[in-house]
Chains A and B, each alone.
Chain A
Amino acid sequence: MERLFRRDAPPANLVIRGARLFDRGAGLEGTQLDVRIADGRIAEIGDAVDGGGVEEIDATGLTMTPGLVDPHVHLRTPGDEDEEDIASGTRAAAAGGFVAILAMPNTSPVLDSATLLGGLIERAREQAAVPTGFIAAITRGQEGRELVDMAELAARGAAGFSDDGRPVERAAMLRRALQYSTVTGLKLTLHEEEMTLADGGQMHEGAVSAELGLGGHPGIAESVMVGRDLQIARHEGAPLHLCHISAAESVAEIRRAKELGVEVTAEVSPHHLCLTDEAVRSLDPNRHKMNPPLRSAADRAALIEAMADGTLDCIATDHAPHRPQEKEQPFEAAPNGVIGLETAFPAVYTHLVAPGLVPLSTAVERMTSGPANAFGLPVPELRAGAAANLALWNLGESWLVEPPYASRSRNCWCEGQTLQGVCTLTVAGGSIAHRLVEAAL
């Protein structure tokens, strides 16, 4: 069943020489090799491969990884195309080294019918620069009352189900959804938030919120819902995926559930891995206001540890574009969300890999095979015979993050940071989707 869609593009034919290759699954931990791509597939990986006269790229000093997979992106289509559309969002993905993304259904209208899904697939086939999948809502209108036609949506090509943006508040509703979703073979991916504990909180509840006076959103607002849903999943024997985990208490719940054999996968965002609630002192909603909020240093340490040991399987951006006029408001008035496709890998590299907190190969796994396996998508691999899904990085080059971006919006959490790592080439689904490097021949 095809669940990723993109516009037609010519298959790549090129040789990339001398990059250091990182793909733990393929046994590559920095080996310097040549990669020959023929008709959009990796034809050969080796020393001094015969180019056969196709275009060649000198990648000496560059790093090659499998292309990245992001299971949590907001493309704002349909309804808010002035914030992002499929063309701009997938261009941003390509610029960030992504070769597959999944879009969330909290659009206007909500993606809750096969008809709407069909329209989006058509648009993706016309506009998407990288293979794009669509996650449908769990409940009609994401109102938490009636299930969508899950089997029909699955048959039409949905990639999963989520009411992301809000939780499935009623436990019995979630139980039914978990039971029924098993007939589709697709996963529920859950936004975990107990709304009465979150209480409209504007930032993480702790010393910084106490000082700033901003309403507190405690870590337990997430973890009690994580605990509830893991118990339901265990009882039903159903798999599930958890969105944007932010709190240490949630990590503990997930670790315990995995030990008990619950089939759970979970994601963490680059901003939760890289920043803490101290950043909110800026009172800049453009960079530092999102839900779940940036949490404490202890939470961040727990997230990094859990990402490193695999308790958190995926790094996912939760790329959430917003209009500038909505973000140019007082902190308390501005909406939640930040964009992060173009900066995800450089941020993870700069804040976690370069300082030695996480090995490069681990970070790559969490951004490639981790999310691909969680959603049953093809795993991008640096292996002869595989479809060409790869990214080339100049990890020695730094850049100042500032607009304009490939994304249509400007609310990037990295704005003003100098990040290490520039994506110089993205080959997605066998075609060149982004390119800064010149041909050598």
Chain B
Amino acid sequence: MEPQPPITTQRRRHLISIADLDRAAVERIMDTAEGFESVMQRDVKKVPTLRGRTVMNVFFESSTRTSSSFELAAKRLSADTMSLKASGSSVDKGESLKDTILTLSAYDPDVIVIRHPQIGAPTLVTRYTDAHVVNAGDGKHQHPTQSLLDLYTMRSELGRIEGLHVAIVGDVAHSRVARSNIQALTLMGAHVTLVGPPSLIPRGIAAMGVEVSHDINAIDTSDVIYVLRMQRERMLEGANHVPSLREYTAMWGVTPERVRPSQLVMHPGPMNRGVEIAPEVADAPNARIVEQVRSGLVVRMAVLYDLLNEPAPTQHEAALRVVAAGQEVA
């Protein structure tokens, strides 16, 4: 077996995890998204920014919000888009992810947006393409654009992220949204409390810089209540994370008497009304669930824009270039 050289030759910027971003990058993406809001108010909701660029959406897992908003975001920026779903493609014939990506990369896409049920899939994709790779959710690992749109929603509503207290409630163990939100919120200086049953809060997660409580009353002091989806399969025999949905709802459900009108309520969707969130809470004036979806469009436009427009070099990089140029002259 002869060794294979790495197929990618260029160092590309990717968005696999919130850890790929620093504070300045998050601010920059949110500011860019804010700029795109005005485009959304126009009659012609389209700008020529990414004309001639190609964005491929490759979804190996079902999705409504994320796939539709990435597709629309690329179109609003005038990029060519192509969407591939796992069913009906060569994946059905047993093609490996590596070969699917090599095949798609033959068309020289500028960005590949990938959702995959397995952790590490987007990381693998970066090895076989010259495109920028955006993680649209990989297993229980990360969903960075969801976090950016959540932060954007919070900032639009409350004017800041720094110093906010956000309670994330529910099944943290199985939630990629929780993990990327913890990283994003702590990066931006928010205070995060995780609330849920001990069996659904992973051991060791406090090391991410969060507080953990198993008492639903811990949400009371927060500015934002961020509710996670509770999946039915968590109760199945063999998992037994909680005894029943009924008991879960009684203990950790976000119900009207547990929410103050001054608190924002958010949920990444899809919701199980009556399980993790009461219908009255989901429909209350302080819920921002529909705004989150709307934010998704401008934030994903901003992410695509940001990846395809190299930011100005930092002062440090610029200084290094001056030094390097000086050495060449000498």
Question: Residues of A at under 8 Å CB distance from B?
Answer: 202, 205-214, 216, 218, 283-285, 324-325, 328-333, 402-404, 408, 410
Contact B140 A333 (CB under 8 A): no
Knowing that A283-B119, A331-B120 are A-B contacts, what are 5 other residue pairs whose CB atoms are under 8 Å apart, sorted by A's residue number?
Answer: A210-B205, A211-B205, A214-B140, A330-B116, A332-B120
Chain B residues closer than 8 Å to A218, beta-carbon distance? 203
Leading 8 A-B pairs by shortest Cβ distance: A331-B120, A213-B140, A207-B207, A207-B204, A330-B118, A210-B205, A210-B202, A330-B121
* Residues of chain B with a CB closer than 8 A to A408's CB: 1
| Given the contacts A213-B140, A214-B140, A283-B119, A328 and B207 also touching, CB distance less than 8 Å | no
Pull 29 A–B residue pairs with CB atoms less than 8 Å apart, ordered by A. A202-B119, A205-B203, A205-B204, A206-B203, A206-B204, A207-B205, A207-B208, A211-B179, A211-B208, A212-B119, A212-B179, A213-B140, A213-B141, A213-B176, A214-B140, A283-B123, A283-B124, A285-B120, A328-B96, A328-B98, A329-B98, A329-B118, A329-B124, A330-B116, A330-B124, A331-B120, A403-B1, A404-B2, A410-B1
- Complex: how many Å from CA A402 to CA B119? 25
Cα-based distance from A208 to B120 in the complex (angstroms): 14
Question: Is A330 in contact with B1, judged by CB distance below 8 angstroms?
Answer: no
Instruction: Report the separation of the CA atoms of residues A403 and B116 in the bound assembly, to the nearest whole angstrom.
Output: 29
Q: Indicate if B159 sits at the interface (CB-CB under 8 A).
A: no
Contact B1 A404 (CB under 8 A): yes
Specify the chain B residue showing the minimal Cβ separation from A324: B1
Contact with A along B115-156 (1 / 0, CB 8 A): 010111101100000000000001111100000000000000
**Chain B, range 240-281, C-beta contacts under 8 Å to A:** none
> A216: which B residues are within 8 A, CB to CB?
202-203
CB contact under 8 A between A213 and B142, given known A205-B204, A332-B120: yes
Give A326's nearest chain B residue, CB to CB.
B96
Chain A proximity of B128: nearest CB distance (Å) = 9
- Bound complex: CA of A33 vs CA of B31, how far in Å? 72
Q: Does the CB pair B118–A333 fall under 8 Å? A: yes
Check if B3 is an interface residue, CB within 8 A of chain A. Answer: yes
Q: In this assembly, does B72 line the interface, its C-beta being within 8 Å of a C-beta of chain A?
A: no
For the complex, is B97 an interface residue (Cβ under 8 Å from A)?
yes
CB-CB under 8 A for A214 and B203, given A329-B96, A403-B3: no
A287 and B270 alpha carbons, distance in the complex (Å): 36
A328 and B202 contact, CB distance less than 8 A? no
Do the beta carbons of A209 and B124 come within 8 Å of each other? Answer: no
In angstroms, Cα B121 to Cα A284, docked, is: 10
Q: In the docked arrangement, what's the CA distance between A209 and B208, Å? A: 11
A331 touches B118 (CB 8 A): yes
Please determine whether A330 and B120 come into contact, CB atoms closer than 8 angstroms. yes
Q: Give the distance to chain A from B228, nearest Cβ to Cβ, in Å.
A: 13
| Cα(A226)–Cα(B247), bound, Å | 36
Contact flags B180-212 to A (C-beta < 8 A → 1, else 0): 000100000000000000000011110110000
In the complex, what residues of A have CB within 8 A of residue B183's CB?
211
Indicate the member of A210, A212, A325, A403 with the most B CB atoms within 10 Å: A210
Contact A332 B118 (CB under 8 A): yes
- For A202, A330, A403, the residue with the greatest tally of chain B CB atoms inside 10 Å of its CB is A330
CB distance from B183 to the nearest CB of A (A): 8
B1-18 Cβ-contact flags toward A at 8 Å (1 or 0)? 111100000000000000
How far is the CB of B134 from the nearest CB of chain A, in Å? 16
- A211 partner residues in chain B, CB cutoff 8 A: 179, 183, 205, 207-208
User: In the complex the two chains form, what is the Cα distance from A328 to B4 in whole Å?
Assistant: 12
Query: Which residues of chain B are within 8 angstroms of A331 by Cβ–Cβ distance?
Result: 118-120, 123-124
Smallest Cβ distance from B81 to chain A, in angstroms?
24
Residues of B within 8 A of A212 (CB): 119, 141, 179
Q: Which residues in A have their C-beta under 8 angstroms from that of B141?
A: 212-214
Closest to A328 in B: B98
Inter-chain CA distance A418–B3, complex, in Å, is: 18
Complex alpha-carbon distance, A410 and B124, angstroms: 16
Give Cα A285 to B121, complex, Å: 11
- On chain B, the residues within 8 Å of A284 by CB distance are 123
A11 to B184, CA, bound (A): 65
Chain A residue contacts of B96, Cβ below 8 A: 325, 328-329
Contact among A202, A209, A328, A330 for B204, CB-based, below 8 A: A209
Q: Considering the chains assembled together, what is the distance between the CA atoms of A324 and B3 in angstroms?
A: 10
- Chain A residues contacting B203 (CB-CB under 8 Å) are 205-206, 210, 216, 218
Query: Please, which residue of chain A has its CB at the minimum distance from the CB of B202?
Result: A210
Kindly state the separation between the CA atoms of A216 and B204 in the bound complex, as whole angstroms: 11
Residues of B within 8 A of A213 (CB): 119, 139-142, 176, 179
Query: A207 CA to B139 CA in the complex, in Å?
Result: 18
List, in ascending order, chain A residues with CB within 8 A of B119's CB. Answer: 202, 212-214, 283, 330-332
With both beta carbons as reference points, the residue of chain B lying nearest to A208 in the complex is identified as: B204
Q: How far is the CB of B175 from chain A (nearest CB, A)?
A: 8
Please indicate the chain B residues that have their CB under 8 angstroms from the CB of A330 in the complex. 97, 116, 118-121, 123-124, 138-139
State in angstroms the CA–CA spacing of A202 and B119 once bound together. 10
Query: Which B31-48 residues have a C-beta within 8 angstroms of A?
Result: none
- Tell me the bound Cα distance from A289 to B147 in angstroms: 28
User: Contacts of A403 on B, CB cut-off 8 Å?
Assistant: 1, 3
Determine if B3 and A402 form an interchain contact, defined as CB atoms under 8 angstroms apart. Answer: yes
Residue of A nearest to B138 (CB): A330
Q: Which of chain B's residues have a CB closer than 8 A to the CB of A205?
A: 202-204
| Chain A residue with the shortest CB-CB distance to B142 | A213
Which residues of the partner chain A approach B1 to less than 8 Å between Cβ atoms?
324, 403-404, 408, 410
